Each structure stands twice: as structure tokens, then as C-alpha cells.
Amino acid sequence: MKWTTIVVSLGLFAKTALATGQLNGLPVLNGPIPTVGNVYGMKSRVGDFVHPGLWHSHDDLERIRLGVANGEDPWKTAFVNFSTDSFSQASYVMQGPKSIICRGPCSNYTTFTNDVRAAYQNAMMWYITRNQSHWDRSTTILDAWGTNLTSIIGTDTSLLIGLEGDMFANAAEIMRWEGGWVEQGARASGGSGFSNQLYWLFARQSIIIGQANYGMVSIKALLAFSVYLDDVSMYNYAINAYQNDLCAGIYGNYDPQTGQGAETGRDQGHAVSGLGWTALAARIIQSQGTDVYSLGNNLLLTAAEYSAKYNLGYDVPYDPKFYRCEAILINGPWSAPSNISRGLGETSATTQSPGVWDILYYQYVVKRGLNAPWTVKAKQVYDASGGEQHPTGNSQGDQPSWGDLLWAYPGRGQFKNDDNRTIWGGGTIGPNGTGMLNY
Ligand SMILES: *[C@@H]1O[C@H](CO)[C@@H](O)[C@H](O)[C@H]1NC(C)=O
Ligand SMILES: *[C@@H]1O[C@H](CO)[C@@H](O)[C@H](O)[C@H]1NC(C)=O
Ligand SMILES: *[C@@H]1O[C@H](CO)[C@@H](O)[C@H](O)[C@H]1NC(C)=O
Ligand SMILES: *[C@@H]1O[C@H](CO)[C@@H](O)[C@H](O)[C@H]1NC(C)=O
Ligand SMILES: *[C@@H]1O[C@H](CO)[C@@H](O)[C@H](O)[C@H]1NC(C)=O
Ligand SMILES: *[C@@H]1O[C@H](CO)[C@@H](O)[C@H](O)[C@H]1NC(C)=O
Ligand SMILES: *[C@@H]1O[C@H](CO)[C@@H](O)[C@H](O)[C@H]1NC(C)=O
């Protein structure tokens, strides 16, 4: 991703990157998870977690599966491209695992980006088709990287963890709770596989949240990791940051009145990517039974409308006093909206616009019936420029894409998760009606 490779590198991280060669060094660097007070949506005990419960709850997965099975749109049409995509094939050839990958000046992580996408898309393929070969492909990728990757280095470590790491956790959540996958290396004395990697190497590194779009990446990843790991403290820390972190949370990222992005003056790639990451964070929180999409009088939608309008070529009001924390690290603050990477579409001449519109469109316009003319138009332009396909170029890990398949709702409704149809530790459904307990 063009945008995020040049995301600010904190001086702080440059030093720690050198010190993070070994997995065991990381927790010390991150320190304890700060305890938070009473926060909207917080959990009080492990049994409060819903599984699967990252981007997709069980009910969400069923909506997708049944949409495809019953030949209903948009799922049916979206599945045509999805099911023939190279990353959705059981025959996908794994490019890793590697033991050390880097994001930053020494970037060499595309094998992970690709394998993660294949693990996730094969997990979805398995859920939709129940073809065992997709189960095998997804879980062998999870196990291979889960047991071999020991170090993530570079100044943008937390982006790599927050983007690719999040999608990897999403694949694992589906395969574990729906597919009955038990990770390689699982042992009562402490394992050496996927979950250990997720805890020590991924989650612990996202605790230093950072700012603006970069910070929101860590927040959405921490939400995902904490649900996977059933970590109450980490989840509460992340859901608090989403609402109250004045540099990285929703109110730090979007002007509560106009929806202006804190990086609107920087460039449109970052401004628009942040919308997608905020929507993904809210999606995990939704899976856990709490609605933050409506926070701030639907602030995220106001923000989507602002950026969609500007990127469609129209003027927007601009307050030069609303900008991101530490803007000086990236040559800010700015006097006007930036024209850098302005525009929409997957293959516009100068840029590849982040695929964020579907998740916003389905959540606000279709499910809630809200009026959002610019977001609707942005989706139309995006669809006309390619629509359902995997992202290409440097941005493959930024957004999941496939929005008509992944995020669609059939119309207005609450679509609340029914806990009788979801699984939680000790819950009632699962392969044999017992929940996903390890025997
Ligand atoms: C990536 O770069 C780092 C630092 O140079 C190196 O240690 C590591 O082996 C490389 N990994 C891959 C997959 O090339
Ligand atoms: C399952 O997928 C494999 C690989 O794509 C394919 O060869 C096989 O025919 C599929 N099986 C069924 C029952 O569709
Ligand atoms: C590493 O990955 C390979 C697959 O490439 C796998 O066979 C092996 O079990 C993994 N784990 C370890 C500890 O080598
Ligand atoms: C962006 O482009 C518009 C139209 O060409 C121009 O009026 C405006 O000054 C530009 N903004 C910046 C910050 O350069
Ligand atoms: C499917 O992918 C092709 C490009 O390969 C694209 O032109 C088309 O719009 C996509 N279909 C949908 C429904 O988005
Ligand atoms: C869920 O299950 C409980 C008993 O386990 C039952 O009392 C309740 O009515 C069920 N709810 C729904 C919506 O079916
Ligand atoms: C679940 O049921 C299947 C077939 O009914 C059986 O083969 C399998 O061993 C059962 N698994 C567990 C964990 O009981």
C-alpha cells in the first residue's frame, strides 16, 4: 500500500525494531495493558465473548452462505469473482512460511500478505462450500506461519501486524470456531503455534497505539486479537481507545461536526484508508454485541460522506485547526484538503483508491436506511472501476475487498446476533452441539 508504507515512522519504533529480533523480547517493550474505567461496550468476563466474532459472527457467515446457496444478489454475483480468484483456490501455492519478515525500509513481507489472504479467502470458501480442500488449505497456511514466524521487524511493524495480522486472525477465528481446527503445537504446557504467535508477536506489539489512521489500525487489530484470545483487559483497552483515544480514536480521526478527516490535508489515500479501518473496528465491536457505528450521531458516516464528496471532485469545508496528532512528523498541519491521490476507483491513473465504500454502504445505507448520497456514489464509481476483485499493487493487505460478498445485508433490519446461534466458550453449538471445546 502506497499510503501506509510511507506512514509515519515513529522515532520510538526505530530503536525498538532493532531490539525486537526475538519473539521473547517483545512483551517487555510493550509494557502492561493499561486498565480502563467504565466504558461503553466493555466486557466483564471471558464468557462474554461471542465466537466467531471478529469481522463475521456466525449469523453473518450464514447470511453469506445462504445468499450464495439461494442464488440471491449481491452475494451470488460477488461469489462469481470471489470463487474464481487465485487466493480462493485450494490449489493456491503457499509462498511461506518465513521466520523473519520486515515492514519498513527493509520491507519483505509480501509472502505473508499473499498467504494471509489465501488463508482468509479459503476459510470463507470452506464456510460457503464446505469443501474439505479449502479447510485444508486455510489451516495448513495458519499452522505453517503459526509455527515458523518468530520475528517481525522494521519501523512499520505495527502496521504489518495490524493489517495482515488482523486478516490472519479472521481466518483463524472462522476455522477454529466453525471448522473445529485445533492449531498445531497446542499443548497444556504451553504451545508453540498460531495463538502463541498471535499473543506474543502480534497483540503485544499493537498496544502502543500511535495516532490517526495508523493508530486506528492498531485499535482494530487489538479488538480482533483480544476476541480471538478471549482477553478481557485487552478488549476493554481497545474499545476504550476506539471511543476515547484523542489521537487515534474516532473523535481524533473525524471532526464531530463536518466529518473532516484528521488527514484530509495530508493525502486522500490515508484519509480514505482510515475510514475502512474505523469501519472494521466497529464491525468487530458489532459482532460482540455493541453498536458503535451510530456513535457521534453516525460520525463515521458523516466522515464517509465528507471524503466521498471530496474524492468525487467536489469542494468540502475545511478547518485547518482540525488535524492529526503529530502532524509535524509528516509535514503537517495543512492549510487545505490535499489533492494527493485524490479520486476514486481501483485503477485510476495515478492511484488505487482504498476499497472502503462497501462496508460503509451496507452498514449505513442498506441496513440502517440512512441517506448517504456521496457514499452511494463512491460505491458506484468504485464498482464501475472493477468492483469485486482482490486489491493489487502495494495495498493488498490494507482492506479485505469483496465487499458485496462480505458486508452485504438484504435490506433494513437489526440483524442482532442471536446468542443461541453463536458459539462461546462452553456454548451450545459447534461441530456436535457442544461448542468448540478442546477434548
Ligand atoms: C527480511 O529482511 C530481514 C532484515 O534484513 C531479514 O532478516 C529477513 O530474513 C528477511 N526475510 C525475508 C522473508 O526475506
Ligand atoms: C473441492 O475442491 C477441490 C479443489 O478445488 C475440487 O477438485 C473438488 O472437486 C471439490 N469437491 C467438491 C465435492 O466440489
Ligand atoms: C514450518 O513450516 C513447515 C511448512 O513449510 C511445516 O512443515 C513445519 O511444521 C512448520 N513448523 C516448524 C516448527 O518447522
Ligand atoms: C487542489 O486542487 C484544486 C483544483 O485544482 C485547487 O483549487 C486547490 O488549490 C488544490 N489544493 C491544494 C492544497 O493544492
Ligand atoms: C469481476 O472482476 C472483473 C475483473 O476481473 C470486473 O471487471 C468485474 O466488475 C467484477 N465483477 C463484479 C460484480 O464486481
Ligand atoms: C435461547 O435459548 C434459551 C435457552 O437456552 C431460551 O430460553 C431462549 O428462548 C432462546 N432464545 C431464542 C431467541 O431462541
Ligand atoms: C462429532 O460427530 C461425528 C459424527 O457424528 C464424530 O465422528 C466425531 O467424532 C464427533 N466429534 C466429537 C468431538 O465428538
Domains of the chain: 2-22+53-421 (1.50.10.100)
C-alpha separations of 58 from 37, 80, 96, 287 in Å = 30, 22, 30, 9
* CA 387 / ligand 5 centre spacing (Å): 5
Q: What is the number of the ligand closest to the CA of 338?
A: 4
Residue with the smallest CA separation from ligand 4 atom 1 is 339
**Is the model's pLDDT at 425 over the cut of 50?**
no
pLDDT above 80 for 204: yes
Choose one of 18, 94, 106, 152 to mutate for the ligand 1 pocket test, by most ligand atoms within 8 angstroms of C-beta. 106
pLDDT of 266 above 80: yes
- Indicate the top mutation candidate among 23, 112, 139, 143 to test ligand 3's pocket, ranked by most ligand atoms within 8 A of CB: 143
What's the rounded Cα separation, in Å, for the pair 290 and 293? 9
The average confidence (pLDDT) of the chain is 88
3-class DSSP assignment, residue 153: strand
Whether the Cβ atoms of residue 404 and residue 74 lie closer than 8 Å to each other? yes
> Which residues, 6+ apart, have CB-to-CB distance to 278 below 8 Å?
216, 220, 250, 253, 254, 300, 303
d(CA 43, CA 39): 9
Q: Is 418 in the pocket of ligand 6 (CB under 6 A)?
A: yes
pLDDT of residue 244 exceeding 90, the answer is: yes
Note whether 103 and 159 are within 8 A (CB).
Answer: yes
* 357 vs 189, more confident: 357
Q: Residue 252 pLDDT > 90, yes or no?
A: yes
Report the separation in Å between the CA atom of 388 and the middle of ligand 2, taken as the mean of its atom positions. 23
pLDDT at 95: 98
Query: Range with the lowest mean pLDDT among 187-191, 214-218, 295-299?
Result: 187-191
- Give strand pairing partners of 254: 261
Helices 58-69 and 75-84 pack at an angle, to 10 degrees, of 90
Using a 10 angstrom Cβ sphere, with 0-12 exposed, 13-18 middle and 19 or more buried, the burial of residue 70 is: exposed
Report H helices in 245-337.
Answer: 250-253, 268-287, 295-311
How far is ligand 3, taken at its centre, from the CA of residue 147, in Å? 6
User: Mutation test of ligand 5: which of 79, 347, 389 has the most ligand atoms closer than 8 Å to its C-beta?
Assistant: 389
